Amino acid sequence: PTGRTLGAAGRARLRREARRVLLGNWTGTSTVPSPGLYPHQWSWDSAFIAVGLRHLSPARAQRELETLLSAQWDDGRVPHIVFNPRVPLDAYFPGPDFWRSSTAGAGAGAPRTAETSGIVQPPVHALAAWLVHEADPAASRRRGFLARVRPRLAAWHRYLADHRDLGGGGLAAVVHPWEPGMDNSPCWDGPLERVTPAPPGSFRRADLAHGTAADRPTDLDYGRYVRLAADYRDHGYRDAEAPHRFAVEDPSFNALFIASGHALAAICTELGDEAEARSHSAHAASLTESLVRRLWSPGAGQFLCRDLRAGPADGDTEAGRAGGRLLDVRSVAGLLPLIAPGLPEDVTAALLRTVTGEHFGLGTKVRLVPSYALDGPAFDPYRYWRGPAWFNVNWLLERGLRRCGETGRADGLRADVLDAAVASRFAEYLDPYSGAGRGTRDFSWTAALALDLLG
């Protein structure tokens, strides 16, 4: 059956299958994105997974987030990977023996009893915690769920505000292409050119044992990922001391920071702390203002990434004032601010035109929004974040469209996401034109977000 016509039997089957994936990928305390390719706990994956798990078991969804947050560093950062000590060292690269968080990160407050990576991923967690609470408020209150996660979520947001405003303009910067979660986006091609790759023989990739090379980042990309991560580690993961040769303000990372800031405000209100709720709302509003001031491109009709390590383009006085340079690259990251409340009306209207227009083609050229412009010079329908359509991105866009009152489009996208999730056996990503699944299957966030869209 196709999603547009998914009947009661199709919905029941989808629910059953998604449940099988999520139960199969559960380790007892959290969920792996995929047992073969990603056998540990990932930060933003767990947030998306919790959003789906809340429909199966709110207690398990709470546990998912609490497990992740228990590996938080004393400086507030939530690491992008929490390693499972039972998994062999060579199952994933770079593993705990590369990051060495408990020793190298001791000065930045890394936990002593868990091994983690030292970088972060987008702050989707407060949003996820709020959605998990909403699934069963009585059970959440009984377990004191929000009271327990609130201080950790607040410390996480404080880390981003205090340690990551590298451009000084009020936004959080990412310091590694893995941080925005869109590893090999064409946005990073320019900034990465300035990074000398680690020698090819100095590390061994584990991902190619599970994925097709044509679907994955290249060896040259990996050499640069390794160099940047090793430099950060060798400076004790201290942001004030690390060279951060890669420093970018990414619109989707910041849009999620805004959405989570509003969710954190709702959490504080629920807990009766109006003063703290107001301060989170005010911070989210000021992030929104910075996002528009620093990353909006009226010419492109979308948000762009700002490369903080590049000089301004000739004659670009506005960019010069803001520091760095806007990257003229159309990533779907630039559309995700649709989830952020409080954008100026003309910005929202332009974003809606761009989603359905010639570059991203939602509803005209493709059924799910691609990760990068279909007509962009670096477009590749197979290679990871350089074209394929991803389910978490489309889930966020569905919410964004609905939030903007685009109910018909949101309903259509919802149906198409459900259809694609079943047809691709919960693929990691899809060729945006054919809809064929790529990457691994039985991928956790695909199953979780399909469950969420089923309602």
> Residues 215, 250, 270, 428: which is the catalytic one?
428
Minimum gap (Å) between residue 428 Cβ and ligand 9WN: 7
Minimum gap (Å) between residue 110 Cβ and ligand 9WN: 18
- Measured distance CA(391)–CA(273) in Å, rounded: 35
CB of 80 or CB of 359, closer to ligand 9WN: 80
CB of 44 or CB of 253, closer to ligand 9WN: 44
> Residues 17, 136, 183, 416: which is the catalytic one?
183
CB of 68 or CB of 343, closer to ligand 9WN: 68
CB of 183 or CB of 231, closer to ligand 9WN: 183
Produce one character per residue of 149-159: b if its CB has 16 or more CB atoms within 10 Å, e if not.
Answer: bbebbbbbbeb
What distance separates the 2 farthest-apart alpha carbons in the chain?
A: 60
Minimum gap (Å) between residue 392 Cβ and ligand 9WN: 8
Query: Do 149 and 66 contact (CB within 8 A), yes or no?
Result: yes
Minimum gap (Å) between residue 47 Cβ and ligand 9WN: 10
Query: Do 442 and 21 contact (CB within 8 A), yes or no?
Result: yes
CB of 90 or CB of 162, closer to ligand 9WN: 90
- Measured distance CA(364)–CA(354) in Å, rounded: 12
Annotation marks residue 136 as catalytic: no
Annotation marks residue 74 as catalytic: no
Minimum gap (Å) between residue 339 Cβ and ligand 9WN: 17
- Measured distance CA(164)–CA(157) in Å, rounded: 10
CB of 36 or CB of 107, closer to ligand 9WN: 36
Q: Which residues bind ligand 9WN (CB under 6 A)?
A: 33, 38, 42, 44-45, 80, 178, 181, 183, 207
Of 414, 425, 422, 410, nearest to 453 by C-alpha is: 414
Minimum gap (Å) between residue 390 Cβ and ligand 9WN: 8
Distances from the Cα of 13 to the Cα of 10, 17, 444, angstroms: 5, 6, 17
What is the pairing mode between strands 81-82 and 248-249?
A: unpaired
Minimum gap (Å) between residue 33 Cβ and ligand 9WN: 4
- Alpha carbon 294 to chain centroid, angstroms: 20
CB of 379 or CB of 390, closer to ligand 9WN: 390
> What residues have CB less than 8 Å from 335, skipping those under 6 apart?
302, 303, 351, 354, 355, 360, 369, 397, 400
Active-site residues, by number, are: 183, 428
